[in-house]
Amino acid sequence: MRTILFYIVFLSAFAAKAQFSIATYQSKERLPESNWLNPAFMPDNKLVIGLPGLSSVAFDAGMGFSFNDIFVRDMNDSLVIDKENFPLGLKKRMDNSLDLDIQLLMVGIRMGQGYISFGSRLRSESRVNYTSELIKWALLGPGDNRVSNTIDLNDFQAFSATYLEYSATYARQITDKLTVGVRVKHLNGLAGGEGSQDGSLHISADSVTLILNNSEYNMSGFNAIGNYSPSEFLSGPNNGYGIDVGIDFELSESMSFSGSLTDIGFINWKTDIQSYRSENINYKFKGVDVVQLMFDPNSANPSNELDSLVTLIKPQEQTITSFRTGLNGKATAGVHYDLNLLGSIGGTVYSGLNGGKLDPVIGVNYQLKLKSILTVLAGITYKDKSIENVMAGLIVKPGPVQVYVLTDRLNSYFVPANANSLNLRFGMNIAIGKAGVNIE
C-alpha cells in the first residue's frame, strides 16, 4: 500500500486538471458511484455496497497534447518532432493532470424519500499548469515572430493533494420534482503541496527581463508518506473538511435537470513541511557595458551576471509550521431526456473551479437501458479544443452484483498515439432491491 501511495504522489507531481467522468455522471440512478459527482443522485436499489478496493477505481490523466501531435514522419519513416505544427497548435495555458479515485468502502440505503450513504475513498488530485510558450521557446525560439518573447510566470502553478476521504451523504426528494443532496467530508491529508508565483520572463535582442514575485512552494508529507503507521494513514494530523451539494430537478416527466458543486473544502497540512520562497526579483540585463569594460576589464563579466541571477532565483527554504490548500472544486450541470423505449439522451457541462479559469468539458450521450440488467452508454465529449473524444459505458447487473466500466475517452485506448488524455472508471457493486419495492 505504501508503494502504491508513493507512486500516486510521485505521478501527481507531473499532473493537473481535476478528474471527472461525464459517463459516470450521466449514469445517474443506474450507478451508485454517480452520487460522488452529484449527491442528489439516488441509486435505483434499496441497498448498495461498494466492496473495499473493488467497487470503484477511477483515473483521469490529461497532458494537453498527444504523441501524434508531437511527432511526424519524415521521408525515411522516422518520427521527428513536428517543430511547426505542434507548438503552434497548443493552447496558451497547458494543463497537466493526474487524478486517481479508489473507493475503499461505500454503503448506501434508500430510506423512503431519502437516501443515506457512508463512504471512504483514497483520492489523489494533481495538476501542473504552464504556458505553452515554454514549448514554443524550446522548439521555435523566442526570436520567432509567431511566438511571444514574454512568458507569463503566473501560468506556472502546481498543486497536488493525496488524501483519505470519509463522507456521509444524505439525499432527499423534497417535492415530486426536486431532489437535493448534501455530503460532508472529513479528509485526512497524506501528502500535498502547492506552488505559484507572479511575474514574467522576457527575452529579446533588446533585453532579458525577469520579474518574479510571491514565489512560494509548500509541500507536506512527501518524505513521510512511506512511513505512515496504519493509524496515521487512517487519521493523521493533516485534517481537512469538504462539502458537496447537488440538485436533481424534473422539468417534465421525461426531462430532468441536475447540478452540483463538489469538493468545496480545504486541508490544513502540518506534517513533514517543506517550504521554499524566492526573493522578489526585478532583473534586467541589456548587455555588457563595453565602454566600461574598456576601462575596467573586470567591471562586467557575463558569467558573473548569470551567477548572480541564479543566486537570486534559487529558492530559500523557510520554516513554517502549517499551510492550507483548497480542494479542486468542481461545478457540473446536466440535462437528461428520457426517450422511453428508445433509451435516453443527456448532456453535461463540467468545469473545475480552481485557478479562477473555467475550462469546461462538455459531453452529450445516448443511453440504452435494457431493464436493470444492461445499460449501454455512448457519446462524445468536448475537451481541450477537441470534439473527437468518444464516451462509452457498460453497466451490467444480472443479479445483485453490478459490474461496470465507463470512460470519457474510449478512443484513447484504440489509438493511443492520438490520446491527449485518459479516463476510466470500473468496478463492481452489490446492489440489492428495487427502490420503492420491499426487499424480500
Partner 1 sequence: MKKLFAVGFISSFVLSGCFNELKDLDKIKSPELDPLLEFPVVDSHVIFSDFDDQIPDFTVGTRSDGTTTLYFEKELYKVLATDYYSFLPQASQTVTLTGFTTTATGSASGSVSSIMQIGTTNNESLETVELNAGTLEVSVFSDFVNTDVTITIRISSLTINAVALEQTFTVAVGQNNFNIDLAGAILNLSNGPSGFNQLPFDVDVSLSANGTPVTAVNKADVKLSILNPVFKMLYGTAGQQTFENRTGVQSINVLGNTTATEFSIEEPKVEVEIINSFGVPFNVSVNSFGVKDQQGNTTLLTGAAMTSLQPYSIGAPIPPNQFGESVTSTITIDHTNSNLKDVFSKIPVEINYDASAEYPGGPGKIFVLDASQATVTARAEIPLYGRLNNLYFEKQLNFAGDFFANITQGELIITTRNRFPMNIGIVMEFFDSGGNSLEQLFISDPLITESPVTDVGGRTSTELVKETIVVLDPNRLTNLSNSAQLKMYITFTTEQGGAVPVRFTDQDYLDLHIGIKGRAKI
Q: Which of 82, 144, 272, 338 binds partner 1 (CB under 8 A)?
A: 144
Asked if 71 is part of the footprint of partner 1 (rule: CB under 8 A), the reply reads yes
Among 40-48, 79-87, 228-236, 368-376, the segment contacting partner 1 (CB under 8 A): 79-87
Nearer to partner 1, 342 or 415 (CB): 415
- Name which position in 206, 279, 307, 388 contacts partner 1 (CB under 8 A): 206
Residue 295 binds to partner 1 (criterion: CB under 8 A): yes
Smallest gap, in angstroms, from Cβ of residue 144 to partner 1? 5
Helix (H) or strand (E) segment spanning residue 96 = strand 93-111
Shortest Cβ distance from residue 92 to partner 1 (Å)?
18
Under the binding rule (CB under 8 A), the answer on residue 307 touching partner 1 is: no
Residue 142 interacting with partner 1 (CB under 8 A): yes
**Using the rule CB under 8 A, is 137 a contact of partner 1?**
yes
Q: How far is the CB of 202 from partner 1 (least distance, A)?
A: 10
Choose one: 100-108, 176-184, 197-205, 225-233; the region binding partner 1 (CB under 8 A).
Answer: 197-205
Considering the rule CB under 8 A, would residue 291 count as an interface residue with partner 1? yes
CA distance 246 to 234: 28
State how far the Cα of 310 lies from the Cα of 433, in Å rounded to an integer: 66
Round to whole Å and give the CA distance between 64 and 17: 10
| Chain centre distance of CA 66 | 18
Name the residue nearer to partner 1 (CB basis): 52 or 89.
Answer: 89
Q: With H, G, I as helix, E, B as strand and everything else as coil, classify residue 398.
A: coil
* Cell numbers that stand for 359 in this block: 475550462
How many other CB atoms are there within 10 angstroms of residue 372's CB atom?
A: 16
- Measured CA to CA, the distance from residue 201 to residue 382 in angstroms comes to 33
**Residue 437 makes contact with partner 1 by CB under 8 A:** no
Question: Minimum distance between the CB of residue 322 and partner 1, rounded to whole angstroms?
Answer: 42
Query: Nearest approach, Cβ of 429 to partner 1 (angstroms)?
Result: 20
User: What residues does 363 pair with on adjacent strands?
Assistant: 348, 381
Q: Give me the DSSP letters along 211-253.
A: EEEEEEEEEESTTTGGG--HHHHHS-S-EEEEEEEEEEEESSS
Rounded CA separation 154/135 (Å): 16
Minimum distance between the CB of residue 295 and partner 1, rounded to whole angstroms? 5
Residue 326 CA to chain centroid, in angstroms?
Answer: 13
Position 208 contacts partner 1 (CB under 8 A) = yes
Cα 299 to chain center, whole Å? 51
Residue 297 touches partner 1, criterion: CB under 8 A? yes
Q: How far is the CB of 286 from partner 1 (least distance, A)?
A: 4
Asked if 81 is part of the footprint of partner 1 (rule: CB under 8 A), the reply reads: yes
For position 130 contacting partner 1 by CB under 8 A, the verdict is no
Binding-site member from 11, 57, 116, 139 for partner 1 (CB under 8 A): 139
> Least distance (Å) from partner 1 to the CB of residue 195?
26
For residue 165, the number of C-alpha atoms closer than 13 Å in the C-beta half-sphere is: 30
The Cα 306–Cα 292 span in angstroms is 18
Q: Is 370 in the site for partner 1 (CB under 8 A)?
A: no
CA 138/CA 133 separation, integer angstroms? 8
* DSSP track, 16-59: -SPP--HHHHHHGGG-GGGGGT-TT---SSSEEEE-TTTSEEEE
Query: For partner 1, which residue of 174, 178, 234, 293 counts as binding (CB under 8 A)?
Result: 293
Asked if 205 touches partner 1 (CB under 8 A), the answer is yes
The secondary structure of residue 143, as a DSSP letter, is: T
Count of residues in contact with partner 1, rule CB under 8 A:
42
User: For partner 1, which stretch binds (CB under 8 A), given 14-22, 27-35, 247-255, 415-423?
Assistant: 415-423
Question: Is 160 in contact with 9 (CB distance < 8 Å)?
Answer: yes
- To partner 1, the closest distance from the beta carbon of 141 in angstroms equals 3
By the rule CB under 8 A, 288 interacts with partner 1: yes
The contact set with partner 1 (CB under 8 A) reads 67, 71, 73-74, 77-81, 83, 137-144, 149, 203-208, 285-295, 297, 413-417
